[in-house]
Structures are given as structure tokens and as C-alpha cells.
């Protein structure tokens, strides 16, 4: 990561039993997040409408250069939501190896980057990114844990600008 990052424990009620970073298995490395985001086939995007209505939808996407990329039709519900309110949550399907990313969905308009993403997307899905709009989600906050050792591995990353 090129931006300032602080790793620590998530802020959760004491009833969750989260250990101090020096107890148990310790904090997860950022490579845990990156490897799972890179390897995943399906991701979930949670967005909110301009009226405050929540929406979650599965998407295909790419983890590239420490950011998440996905595409959608601008007239889809998630497309309209991110146009009105760019804050999103991205998470994996697994509840056993959890990764959650919070950030803003920013439109990608750099043609060289779009060409690079299209190639990577085609290699992963055998499908091109030539329809809809492509968005980049750069983490603002990230969370991860391994369910078998939730109290020892729960980790939170805060990113600077």
C-alpha cells in the first residue's frame, strides 16, 4: 500500500471477546486481504439510494493495485445508487474467511487503465468490460478475520490519503 495505513483491532463491544493485538494469533497481514480479494470470483456490493434505501447485489470484479474494480449498467439499481451516493461496502461470499472493504465507488475513465482491466477481466471471466460503467473502490476501511479464530484474528485497517 502506498497510502498511510494503520492496522489494529475492530471497534466492537467487549462482549465479542476480541483479543488485544499481542494475544492469540495476532493481527492478519494485508496479504490475507489481497490474496482473497484477488482469488474470489464473486463479490457483494452494498450501496444505498438517495432516499436511504439499502441494496446488496453480487458482482464480478477485479482486485488490482490494492483497489477493487467492478462494472454495472448506470441504470441498474446499484448504478443509480453509486451515482447518488458513492459510499459502498464490498465483501466476499465467505463467512469463514471474511474480507470487508469500505470506500467510495469512483467512475474509471482512463482509457489505458480500462484496457488493462478489460484484459484482466477477460482472463478471469472470459467476458469483456465493454458494457456499462466501470468503478474503482479504494479502501477507506477494511476488515478481515478467520472465523475459527475470530477473537484472535479480527483485524481492521484504516487508510490515510
Report CA-CA distances (Å) from 63 to 19, 42, 123, 139.
29, 11, 13, 11
Report yes or no: 55 and 81 within 8 Å, Cβ to Cβ. yes
Predicted confidence (pLDDT) per residue in 56-70, tens digit: 999 999 999 999 999
Which pLDDT value is given to residue 131?
75
Which residues have C-beta within 8 Å of that of residue 39, sequence separation ≥ 6? none
- DSSP string across 99-129: EEEEEEEEE---HHHHHHHHHHHHHHHS--S
Separation CA 27–CA 42 (nearest Å): 25
Predicted confidence (pLDDT) per residue in 25-49, tens digit: 688 999 999 999 999 999 999 999 9
- Class for the domain spanning 25-159: mainly beta
Report yes or no: 30 and 5 within 8 Å, Cβ to Cβ. yes
Q: Where are the domains of the chain?
A: 25-159
Which pLDDT value is given to residue 6?
81
pTM: 0.90
Cα-Cα end-to-end distance for the chain: 11
Which pLDDT value is given to residue 19?
73
Predicted confidence (pLDDT) per residue in 101-140, tens digit: 999 999 999 999 999 999 999 999 999 987 789 999 999 9
Amino acid at each position: 500500500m502506498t497510502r498511510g495505513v494503520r492496522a489494529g483491532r475492530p471497534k466492537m463491544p467487549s462482549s465479542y471477546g476480541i483479543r488485544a493485538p499481542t494475544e492469540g494469533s495476532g493481527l492478519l497481514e494485508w496479504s490475507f486481504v489481497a490474496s482473497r480479494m484477488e482469488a474470489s470470483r464473486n463479490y457483494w456490493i452494498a450501496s444505498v439510494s438517495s432516499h436511504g434505501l439499502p441494496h446488496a447485489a453480487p458482482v464480478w470484479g477485479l482486485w488490482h493495485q490494492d483497489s477493487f474494480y467492478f462494472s454495472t449498467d448506470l441504470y441498474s439499481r446499484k448504478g443509480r445508487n453509486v451515482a447518488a451516493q458513492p459510499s459502498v461496502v464490498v465483501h466476499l461470499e465467505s463467512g469463514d474467511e471474511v474480507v470487508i472493504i469500505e470506500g467510495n465507488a469512483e467512475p474509471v475513465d482512463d482509457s489505458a487503465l480500462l484496457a488493462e482491466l478489460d484484459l484482466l477481466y477477460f482472463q478471469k471471466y472470459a467476458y469483456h468490460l465493454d458494457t456499462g460503467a466501470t468503478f474503482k473502490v479504494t479502501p477507506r476501511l477494511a476488515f478481515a478475520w478467520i472465523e475459527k479464530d475470530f477473537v484472535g484474528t479480527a483485524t481492521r485497517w484504516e487508510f490515510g490519503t
